[in-house]
Each structure stands twice: as C-alpha cells, then as structure tokens.
C-alpha cells in the first residue's frame, strides 16, 4: 500500500506551490478580489501558457496533460493555501469534469481543446435556495424541430458572469428529483442568456446569477441522452466536492501556519504567546483538523480518480465526497475561526490575511452542501437503507 | 497513491482468515469477541489456552525476526493479521504485552541470556507479561518514578521497593518489566534501570483497582524487597529511560486497523439499535451517527497514511494526531451509544452492577483519553514537536 504522493505528484505539488507563492501574494489576491471578474486575466493567461494547469486532467488525445485526479487535488490544495484568484475551479473542476463525464467523443473533441487553448467554462444547475442535489434544478428544456429551448434561472454559479462556456442542467417540464434532467453545453453569449454578478462576502471566489429566456440551442448541445443526466450531474457535483475539499485542506493548513507564525512572534507578559498552554492546545487541535482533513481528502481523491478512469473504488464516490466535504468544511471553519481568536485584535482587522481565510472557509462550506447537508446524506445511507444519492 | 495491498499480502490475508475460521471454534467458541478493553479480566484461562493455540498455528509474535521464532512479517502483514483477527472475533490478546512490548525490547536491548530465558515463553503463549511504568506520582510525568532498585552484593540480586499502578493483567502475569531508580540521588529520566521481575515471589503484592465500570482490569503492584537476578536488568543501570523509550518506537500503527474493526463492531451495534428503537428518526441523533461514521472512516484513511509513510524517518504529522484523534472519537462514541439507548441506557443487565456491552464501552472510554498519554499531554506533544512551539517547563 502506498497511500502517499509519488515523486512525480510531489513535484507537481511543489512546482505549484513555488509558482503560487510568487504570483498569489496577499497583495495580488487583494487586487484581484475587488474586481468584478475576480482574477487577473494576464496572470490566468500565464497559467494557461506557461504552467498548462487548465489541461491537467484533460486526456492527451484532446491536447491535455492526461494526469489524474490525485495530481489535480495536489495542485488545488496549494491554490487553497494561497487563495489563488482564478477561473481554475470553475473551468477545470466544473467545466472539464462535466465534459469528461457527460460529453460524447465529438463534443469532447470540440470543447476540450478550446479549454486547453484558454477558454473558461462553468456549470450552472442550482436555483435560489433549492439545495445542492439534482432536485435543485428548476430550469426547463423542451425539444424543438432542430434542437432545444431552455428557460429558467440559476444562482450561485461560480464565475458565471465571466465564463466563456456554460454547461447547464435543465429538466423536462413536470419531472422531479433526479428524473428528467439533461445537460447542455453552450457559449455564454448565446441569445437569451443574461448574466449578473452577485457580490459575495468571500471576495476571492465569484458567483453569478444566470437567466435563460427562450434560449435556443442545437441538438448537438445536448450532452448524453435527453432526460437521463441525473446520475451524471451527481457525479459531476461529487467530483467538484472533492475539489472543494482540496481547496479547504490547503486553507485549513495555511490558517494554522500563519497563526503559529504569528504566535511565535507576538509577546505578552514577557514571553511569546506560543509558549502558553491554552494557546498551544488550540493550535494542536488545529493541526489535528488539518491532518484528518488531509486523510479524508486523499482518499476521496483516489476514489475520484477511479470514478473518472474506472476502478473498484468508483462506486464509493458519493460517500467519499460527502465524508471529505463534511469534515474539511468544518475543519477549515474551525481553523480560520480559531486563527482569528488566536491573532487577537489584529485578527479582526482587514489588514491581516486570516480574515480572508475565514471568509473563504464559509463560502466553501456552503457551496455544494455544508457539513449538515452531507451528514444527512450519509445518514440516509446508514440508517434508511438508501444509496447515497 | 495506491490503496490496495499486494497480491502476496492478499494471499497472506486469506491464510490468516482461513486459519482463524478453522480454529476459533469448539472449545474456543466461548472467547470469540471477548477480552477486549473493559472485558480484559474475563475468561483468562480460556484465553491463555487460545494463546497456545495461536502458537501452534505460528500466529504469535509474527512481527519478530525468524531467528527468535517469529515470521519476520512485514508491517503490511502485521496490519492484515490484526485486521483479520478482529474481523474473526479473535479474543483480546492476553499475550500482547509480552509480544509487542517486552519481547521487542529484549530483542533490541537485551543480552543473549535474557533472550534465551524469556523469549520462548512469550512465543509459546505460556508466559505472560505486565508493564511496570506508572506510579502514583509518575503518570504523565513518567520520569518521576520513585521505585528504587538496589544491588545487594551479598546475594548478588537486585532488590526492588516501591509501588506501580494501572498495571493491567498483573495478577495473570508471570513477569513484569519495571522501571526503577538505580541511582538514589538521581532525578528525572537519568539514573533509571529497566528490570525483568518475576511476579510469583513473596516481595510482590497485587491489589486490583475497582474502576468506574465496577470491574478491575487494572491493579496496583507493591514491591517489598522483591528480587531479580543480576542478569535481569536490560541495558546498564542508568540506561532504563533509553530502553523504555525505545519501546515506544516499536509500534508503528500495526494494531490500528484491528482496533478500528472493534470500533466498527461497536458502531454497527449502535446503528442496529437506532434502527430498532426509533433513534434513527431523531434528526439530532442521525447527524451524530453520521458524524461518527465520518470520523471512523477518516481514522482508517489516516492509518493508511501512517502505514505508507515514515519509512525515511521523517516526522509523520498524521501519526502524531492519532492517539488524540481515536481516543476523542471513541469517547464520543460512548456518549452517542447512551443517547441512542435513551431511557434504557440507565437500566443494568443485573445487580449488583452488570453492564451491557454498550454501557461498559461508554464508561470504559472515559479512560481512553487518559491512558497512554492524556489528551492534554498529546496536545503538548503536537504543539511542541510538530508545530515547534516552546516546550513546557520540565522539572
């Protein structure tokens, strides 16, 4: 058993870390997060051209690097540490995953090379306060002679106001739950699509609201079989949950690291406050959260990899994703919250970065289901004899 | 990352499982699932016989080198053995202190004479050991031992005087390994010796401690001019701390997956009960049950990381959190069990104080966060060794 990164995976992680330490500084994050797009387009271009990150798990036949989910997670963990402001999550962990799971060969051959070339993408499915499962889809589609017409609205769409390409879920009128759902891919500037940026408490990741009014798409926009995409949507969301958990583990670790660094400098009563046991014990609890979260994440990463590539663990995806998302959500919030407390007064200022982690912890906790949501999902499986859907 | 065991290891798993299935039957049916934490004092003779049975199959001391009668089993194989053992309902190992603590210490630090005298009895499941570390004033502060060992030139023997406490299986053991002060002027971890002491002698008295469970797994052991031979000190006088600490390095998590199998059995019993008595419909309990499930799964993944890393001697943060993590989780499971039982949780099986399995687990888990390094000490260790925060002042 080798439940640890290979040398190649370590190299990918370390390269990502070195690059992010240089480009995703506190100043850079603060400059990017106050813009409406939420990222520096020149930096994103550099990432796409020099680092080729957008192509990490796109198969080589479509021009990608052909690496797996573990490599992706190793990289995402570092992005979480450095609060990297970019359309990486939306494009790679929502858009690419949706295409890998649901698109046919022809669609992959059309869209994946566009993403490799630098186009951004995202996934829209949820309606206002409708939850995070496939039954939150309220937008509808209807068939026409040469394609489909989409109607309805989406909320909480990551980078929805800036993405080039949209993958959207819609349902047959009258259908419920996982039934009747289809996925479509379309350019974001299609006629009838209006997009509105939603200002958010966590400014490091952007959300938007999309309204679809009589949006006509060709038959070739349909991913998979009409009305049969419910399970695929769940798989896409679970893959995204693992990606979010990676971001969270990175942030959980960094919240601990910057806090301990401060505790080692700050003096009160003639000694560094890191020497007080009340402080040390809190820091020890924070390390426990970071390590246990990492264990949950790496297991989920292996499962996600097999979910995409095939393997005996593939059918554990929903459980592993819920375990990782539930634990890492609370771990991140715990560490960022403890961080503010341990920083003391300066932790409450805008100047110190711990507040940025505190806000990102909450937004990542909410997105795609908080700990309570995932515990209930697991409870249904454990106690009601349901499969975790 | 690779999550599977090798084909060779899986074959080993098959071998273990089939031997257990064929042998944990008949006269040994009664010990199945017994003798774990909280139940360690029960069915002692039957479990001693089971140890001898294990030896017949070559399943004692599998991690020991072949030259001492072991199998030189790899870490993975030891993990697999423990996991299959727990899965099969193998009883609490009455020989585990000899096999995992005394034996490896003697192999690493002992003389040839000590190896010849003590290892075969452990291997054959015929001689059992207990651990003489803690004292009334040496708990977390283990280096504060007061027990004294004086070499008597006339008889050529060491004479030991003092008191040990929390000694499990003391009354069932042939031997005890004892840390005692060889230099009466010394303090702290200097001036200690590591002794191998026979329990069946006039100078040794064992007194059971009645615990909050009403049962007595733990004992006090009094040494009043207890004796051991000049050759029964491991290492030199003054090297006892080094020998005792070396012991801690021997266990790299091989028992963790087996331990988790026992936890899983307890958790399954709670789920079964919750489904039967309606607690499964209570939203607050549903969430706590799911949380326990999450915690146990992560415990397993964390162990897999522990077992995969650290071969290069690097600091394993995932290993440093393990005791704090599992002990806290298990203690919470005890509380959850009672809350799922609801009103019935107070009602005993019988007078005077016969607890059912979950009640016993609930009370016993209160010791999990204390023995083997309290949660408070674990947090100090994590903060100091892993996070580099200043050390607590030590006397």
pLDDT tens-digit series, residues A91-123:
999 999 999 999 999 999 999 999 999 999 999
Task: Tell me which residues of chain A, numbers 243 to 262, contact chain B at a CB-CB cutoff of 8 Å.
Answer: 256, 260
Q: Which residue in A246, A292, A372, A376 has the most chain B C-beta atoms within 10 A of its own C-beta, making it the best mutation to test that interface?
A: A292
pLDDT tens-digit series, residues B206-250:
999 999 999 998 999 999 999 999 999 999 999 999 998 876 665
pLDDT in tens, chain B (395 residues): 777 788 999 999 999 999 999 999 999 999 998 888 778 888 999 999 999 999 999 999 999 999 999 999 988 899 899 989 999 999 999 999 999 999 999 999 999 999 999 999 999 999 999 999 999 999 888 889 999 999 999 999 999 999 999 999 999 999 999 999 999 999 999 999 999 999 999 999 999 999 999 999 899 999 999 999 999 999 999 999 999 887 666 555 677 888 898 899 999 999 999 999 999 999 999 999 999 999 999 999 999 898 887 665 566 898 899 999 999 999 999 999 999 999 999 999 999 999 999 999 999 999 999 998 899 999 999 999 999 999 987 75
Nearest C-alpha in A relative to B286:
A379
Please list every residue in chain A whose beta carbon sits closer than 8 Å to the beta carbon of residue B382. 283-284, 287-288
- Are the beta carbons of B3 and A285 separated by less than 8 Å? no
CA-to-CA distance for A298 and A279, rounded, in angstroms?
29
Nearest C-alpha in B relative to A325:
B294
pLDDT tens-digit series, residues A339-368:
999 999 999 999 999 999 999 999 999 999
pLDDT band at A388 (very low <50, low <70, confident <90, very high): very low
- Are the beta carbons of A384 and B290 separated by less than 8 Å? no
pLDDT value of residue A315: 94
Please list every residue in chain A whose beta carbon sits closer than 8 Å to the beta carbon of residue B275. 383
Q: Given a cut of 90, is residue A237 above it in pLDDT?
A: yes
pLDDT band at A28 (very low <50, low <70, confident <90, very high): very high
**In 3-state terms, what secondary structure has residue A167?**
strand
Burial of B51 (0-12, 13-18, 19+ CB in 10 A): buried
- Facing residue for A295 by CB, picked from B291, B305, B376: B305
Burial of B74 (0-12, 13-18, 19+ CB in 10 A): middle
CA-to-CA distance for B373 and B352, rounded, in angstroms?
32
Token pair, residue B125, equals: 């499941």
Compute the average pLDDT of residues A302-327.
Answer: 96
Running DSSP on this structure, what letter comes out for residue A191? Answer: T
CATH architecture of B256-386: Up-down Bundle (1.20)
CB of A295 less than 8 A from some CB of B: yes
- Are the beta carbons of B287 and A376 separated by less than 8 Å? yes
The superfamily (CATH) of domain B129-240 is Butyryl-CoA Dehydrogenase, subunit A, domain 2 (2.40.110.10)
pLDDT value of residue A283: 98
The distance of A141 to chain B (nearest Cα, Å) reads 36
- Are the beta carbons of A291 and B302 separated by less than 8 Å? yes
pLDDT value of residue B75: 84
This prediction has a pTM of: 0.94
Running DSSP on this structure, what letter comes out for residue B69? Answer: T
Topology of B7-94 in CATH?
Butyryl-Coa Dehydrogenase, subunit A; domain 1 (1.10.540)
The distance of A295 to chain B (nearest Cα, Å) reads 5
Residue B170, number of CB atoms within 10 A of its CB:
25
Residue A127, number of CB atoms within 10 A of its CB:
16
Residue B201, number of CB atoms within 10 A of its CB:
12
Chain A, chain B: beta-carbon pairs less than 8 Å apart? 144
CB of A267 less than 8 A from some CB of B: no
pLDDT value of residue A338: 98
pLDDT value of residue A129: 84
Answer whether B129-240 and B256-386 agree in fold. no
CA-to-CA distance for A24 and A85, rounded, in angstroms?
8
- Are the beta carbons of B76 and A295 separated by less than 8 Å? no
pLDDT value of residue B258: 83
Please list every residue in chain A whose beta carbon sits closer than 8 Å to the beta carbon of residue B273. none
CA-to-CA distance for B214 and A343, rounded, in angstroms?
46
Mean pLDDT of chain A: 96
Residues of B with CB under 8 A from a CB of A: 1-5, 76, 271, 274-275, 280, 286-287, 289-291, 293-294, 297-298, 301-302, 304-305, 307-309, 317-318, 320-321, 324-325, 376, 378-380, 382-384, 386-390, 392
How far from the centroid of its chain's Cα atoms is residue B143's Cα?
20
**In 3-state terms, what secondary structure has residue B130?**
strand
Compute the average pLDDT of residues A294-319.
Answer: 96
The distance of A1 to chain B (nearest Cα, Å) reads 5
CB of A276 less than 8 A from some CB of B: no
- Facing residue for A3 by CB, picked from B274, B308, B388: B308
pLDDT tens-digit series, residues B142-155:
889 999 999 999 99
Closest CA to A325 of A83, A136, A133, A166: A133
CB of A4 less than 8 A from some CB of B: yes
CA-to-CA distance for B377 and B373, rounded, in angstroms?
6
pLDDT value of residue B38: 76
Give Cβ neighbours of residue B144 (< 8 Å, ≥ 6 apart): B135, B137, B138, B188
Q: Given a cut of 90, is residue A190 above it in pLDDT?
A: yes
Nearest C-alpha in B relative to A9:
B1
CB of A388 less than 8 A from some CB of B: no
Nearest C-alpha in A relative to B304:
A3
- Facing residue for B302 by CB, picked from A284, A292, A372: A292
| Annotated active-site residue in B15, B76, B126, B251 | B251
For each of the domains in chain A, give its residue range(s) and CATH number, in order of start.
Answer: 7-120 (1.10.540.10), 122-223 (2.40.110.10), 230-383 (1.20.140.10)
pLDDT value of residue B257: 81
Compute the average pLDDT of residues A21-26.
Answer: 98
- Are the beta carbons of A375 and B291 separated by less than 8 Å? yes
Secondary structure (DSSP) of A315-381: GGHHHHHHHHHHHHHHHHHHHHHHHHHHHGGGGGSSSSTHHHHHHHHHHHHHTT--HHHHHHHHHHH
Q: Is B251 a catalytic residue?
A: yes
Task: Tell me which residues of chain A, numbers 31 to 70, contact chain B at a CB-CB cutoff of 8 Å.
Answer: 70
Domain assignments of chain B as residue spans, ordered by start = 7-94, 129-240, 256-386
- Are the beta carbons of A299 and B3 separated by less than 8 Å? yes
**In 3-state terms, what secondary structure has residue B132?**
strand
Contact yes or no for A188/A164 (Cβ under 8 A): yes
Task: Tell me which residues of chain A, numbers 127 to 156, contact chain B at a CB-CB cutoff of 8 Å.
Answer: none
CB of A18 less than 8 A from some CB of B: no
pLDDT value of residue B248: 66
Secondary structure (DSSP) of B206-264: EEEPP-TTS----EEEEEEEEEEEGGGEES-TT-HHHHHHHHHTT-SSTTHHHHHHHHH
């Amino acid at each position: 058993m080798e439940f640890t990164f290979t040398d190649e995976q370590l190299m990918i992680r370390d390269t990502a870390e070195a690059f992010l330490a240089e480009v995703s500084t506190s100043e850079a994050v603060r400059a990017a997060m106050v813009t409406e797009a939420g990222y520096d387009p020149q930096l994103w271009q550099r990432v796409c051209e020099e680092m080729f990150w957008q192509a990490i798990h796109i198969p080589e036949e479509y021009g990608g690097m052909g690496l797996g989910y573990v490599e992706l997670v190793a990289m995402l963990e570092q992005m979480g540490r450095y609060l990297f402001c970019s359309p990486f999550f939306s494009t790679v962990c929502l858009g690419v995953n949706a295409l890998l799971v649901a698109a046919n060969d022809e669609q992959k051959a059309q869209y994946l090379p566009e993403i490799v070339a630098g186009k951004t993408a995202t996934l829209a499915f949820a309606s206002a306060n409708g939850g995070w499962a496939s039954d939150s889809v309220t937008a509808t589609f209807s068939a026409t002679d040469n394609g489909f017409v989409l109607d309805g609205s989406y909320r909480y769409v990551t980078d929805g106001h800036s993405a080039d390409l949209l993958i959207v879920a819609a349902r047959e009128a009258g259908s419920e739950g996982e039934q009747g759902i289809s996925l479509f891919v379309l350019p974001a500037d299609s006629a009838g699509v209006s997009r509105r940026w939603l200002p958010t408490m966590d400014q490091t990741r952007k959300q938007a609201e999309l309204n679809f009014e009589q949006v006509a798409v060709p038959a070739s926009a349909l991913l998979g079989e009409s009305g049969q995409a419910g399970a695929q949507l769940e798989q896409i969301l679970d893959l995204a949950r693992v990606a979010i958990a990676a971001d969270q583990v990175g942030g959980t670790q960094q919240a601990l690291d910057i806090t301990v660094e401060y505790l080692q400098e700050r003096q009160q009563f003639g000694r560094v406050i890191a020497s007080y046991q009340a402080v040390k014990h809190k820091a020890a609890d924070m390390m426990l959260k970071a390590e246990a979260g990492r264990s949950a994440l790496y297991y989920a990463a292996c499962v996600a990899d097999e979910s995409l590539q095939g393997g005996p663990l593939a059918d554990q995806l929903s459980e592993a994703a819920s375990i990782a998302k539930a634990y890492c959500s609370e771990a991140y919030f715990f560490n960022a919250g403890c961080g503010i407390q341990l920083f003391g007064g300066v932790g409450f200022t805008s100047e110190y970065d711990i507040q940025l982690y505190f806000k990102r912890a909450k937004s990542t906790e909410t997105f795609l289901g908080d700990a309570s949501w995932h515990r209930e999902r697991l409870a249904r499986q454990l106690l009601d004899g349901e499969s975790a859907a | 990352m690779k999550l599977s065991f090798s084909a060779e290891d899986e074959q080993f798993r098959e071998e273990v499982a089939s031997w257990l299935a064929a042998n944990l039957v008949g006269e040994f049916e009664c010990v199945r699932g017994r003798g774990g934490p909280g139940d360690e004092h029960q069915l002692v003779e039957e479990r001693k016989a089971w140890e001898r049975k294990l030896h017949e199959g070559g399943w004692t001391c599998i991690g020991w080198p072949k030259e001492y009668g072991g199998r030189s089993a790899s870490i993975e194989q030891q993990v697999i053995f423990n996991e299959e053992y727990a899965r099969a309902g193998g009883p609490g190992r009455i020989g585990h202190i000899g096999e995992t603590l005394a034996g490896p210490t003697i192999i690493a630090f002992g003389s040839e004479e000590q190896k010849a005298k003590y290892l075969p009895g452990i291997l054959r499941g015929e001689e059992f050991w207990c651990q003489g570390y803690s004292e009334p004033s040496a708990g977390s502060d283990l280096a504060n031992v007061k027990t004294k060992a004086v070499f008597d030139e006339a008889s050529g023997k060491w004479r030991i005087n003092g008191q040990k406490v929390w000694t499990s299986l003391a009354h069932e053991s042939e031997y005890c390994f004892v840390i005692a002060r060889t230099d009466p002027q010394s303090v702290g971890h200097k001036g200690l010796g590591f002794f191998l002491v026979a329990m069946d002698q006039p100078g040794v008295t064992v007194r059971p401690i009645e615990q909050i469970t009403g049962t007595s797994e733990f004992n006090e052991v009094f040494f009043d001019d207890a004796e051991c031979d000049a050759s029964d000190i491991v290492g030199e006088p003054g090297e006892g701390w080094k020998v005792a600490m070396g012991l801690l390095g021997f266990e790299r998590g091989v028992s963790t997956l087996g331990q988790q199998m026992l936890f899983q059995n307890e958790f399954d019993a709670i789920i079964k009960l919750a489904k039967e008595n309606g607690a499964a419909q209570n939203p607050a309990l549903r969430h706590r049950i799911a949380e326990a499930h999450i915690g146990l799964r992560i415990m397993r993944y964390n162990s897999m990381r522990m077992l995969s890393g650290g071969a290069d001697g690097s600091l394993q943060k995932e290993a440093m959190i393990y005791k704090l993590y599992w002990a806290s989780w298990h203690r919470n499971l005890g509380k959850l069990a009672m809350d799922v039982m609801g009103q019935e949780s107070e009602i005993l099986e019988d007078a005077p104080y016969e607890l059912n399995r979950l009640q016993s687990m609930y009370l016993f888990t209160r010791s999990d966060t204390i023995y083997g390094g309290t949660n408070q000490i674990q947090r100090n260790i994590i903060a100091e060794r892993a996070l580099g925060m200043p050390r607590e002042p030590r006397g």
